[in-house]
Amino acid sequence: MPEAKIAPSILASNFGNLAAECKRAMHCGADWLHVDIMDGHFVPNITIGAPVVTCIRGALPKGDSFFDCHMMVAEPERWVEDFAKAGGDLYCFHYEATSSPEALIDKIHASGMRAGCALKPKTPVSAVFDLVPKLDMVLIMTVEPGFGGQKFMIECMPKVEELRSKFPDLDIEVDGGLGPATIDFAADAGANVIVAGTSVFGAKDPREVIALLRETVNKRQLK
């Protein structure tokens, strides 16, 4: 099982001080920053786009931080170059948003970014089995995409278990409702990339929360 990676979701940060919030998360021990991109079409909410990511990258140079761009957008093929230029490191598209996932993966890799594929809670995990050899990561959504602060859906954990069983070396990310109260479920299922928003950015001690999440995943690896 790959190493634990804790990826605070900047959706839960103070957008009025976004660069400072991102720096704070990294200073507190984050491995990645999870950047939620929503377009108001694929999901009924709008967040940020490539220009904002460019500004964040200006404050956090490549090599010092890793931008995990979760593309909750229609026509994800349209934005690959923009996010590569903005400084994205991983471009995670939704399986449900494209009819040509293999071509999209090739386009992402050609841009210099890693490729991830996200699945909504109701999408069967078998949908990505044939894609995994080309992917760098699979994201299992544990809430419906579009808004932060939703309740963790434990019924999505069998999807993580099946992925981990079939692909022991794959980065498997979970996103939605993750924190100290739910991390055991995700870690036991085999997730190693943990997205946490409110539980990190809303914590009195974000460093303590990030350390707890990582420790829980690492303990699972020893089993």
Active-site entry in 64, 130, 175, 188 = 175
Q: Is 36 an active-site residue?
A: yes
CA distance 52 to 93: 19
Write down the residue that tokens 């940020």 correspond to. Answer: 48
Could you give the count of Cα atoms lying within 13 Å of 105 in the half-sphere of its Cβ? 19
Active-site entry in 31, 36, 89, 171 = 36
> What letter would DSSP give residue 50?
H
171: CB partners within 8 A, 6+ apart? 2, 5, 116, 136, 137, 138, 192, 193
Q: Please name which of 74, 79, 11, 78 lies closest in space to residue 42, comparing C-alpha atoms.
A: 74
CA distance 173 to 89: 15
Q: Is 68 an active-site residue?
A: no
Catalytic residue numbers? 36, 175
